Amino acid sequence: MSVAEARGVPLRVLSYNIHSQRDDTAALAAVVRAAAPDVVIVQEGPRRFRWRSKSATLAASFGLVVAAGGPPSLGNLLLASLRVRVRGTRCQRYPLTPGRHLRGAAYADCQVGGVRFLLAGSHLSTDPAERPAQAAAFKRELAAATLPVIAGADLNEGPDGPAWRTVAEGLTDAALAADRADRHTYSCADPRRRIDALFVDPRITVVDYDVVDTPQARRASDHFPVLVDLLLPVAG
């Protein structure tokens, strides 16, 4: 085992609300490709007519492949590089509040460098009355995982909100771990809030964290992407 392997297996993660690809899609692809992630956790991905081909086209524009998600998870999409092996997937739908949008989550059992982890993504409601129950449903799945968890989400509230605290409990907030919680993720036009987060199992080391704020990112979506470098724990 090399010295690097003894410390952990590196993994680069991007979590990104892509605003249903309503903005500059060429800029969107350029932002993701420049980040060179191993996995991307997408919110507001393709979820309606021809969603499979649209998801595949989106992934290809990033230089990645589809791992999990789509309409069964209501627009949450997990993408992966060929470095990552996907061993299993599942989707979750939160209970529907009449008159509101459906929300859900996507999960993938992944492996890289001989290390397995659970990749998860969700997008909570804009309605503060709905978010706590959705956060609790997401958290139950994360808490039941036997693998180290990597969870990216657009929580639609900041760290002082109850839904955020529910999801964050027992996990490491990557921004706090890197002492960069002052980096706002929304909106690109007027960034004043951190509502997009990446949470990881405490056994996972946060090496670096960034909110990608570039001219291209400001054209690509209404959210900035969260980019995190991790070291996954090696057993033994």
Is CATH 3.40.50.300 the right assignment for the domain spanning 9-231?
no
Using a pLDDT cut of 70, give the percent of the chain over it. 95
- 235: confidence class by pLDDT, cuts 50, 70, 90: confident
Q: What is the pLDDT of residues 142-191, one digit of tens each?
A: 999 999 999 999 999 999 999 999 999 999 999 999 999 999 999 999 99
Q: Is the pLDDT of residue 78 over 60?
A: yes
What is the structure's pLDDT at 75?
85
Q: How many CB atoms lie within 10 A of CB 71?
A: 19
**pLDDT of 72 strictly over 80:** no
**5 pLDDT higher than 70:** no
Residue 52 has pLDDT above 90, yes or no: no
Distance CA 173, CA 168 (A): 7
Each domain of the chain, given as residue ranges in start order, spans: 9-231
What integer best gives the mean pLDDT of the chain? Answer: 93
- Does the structure show a pLDDT above 70 at 1? no
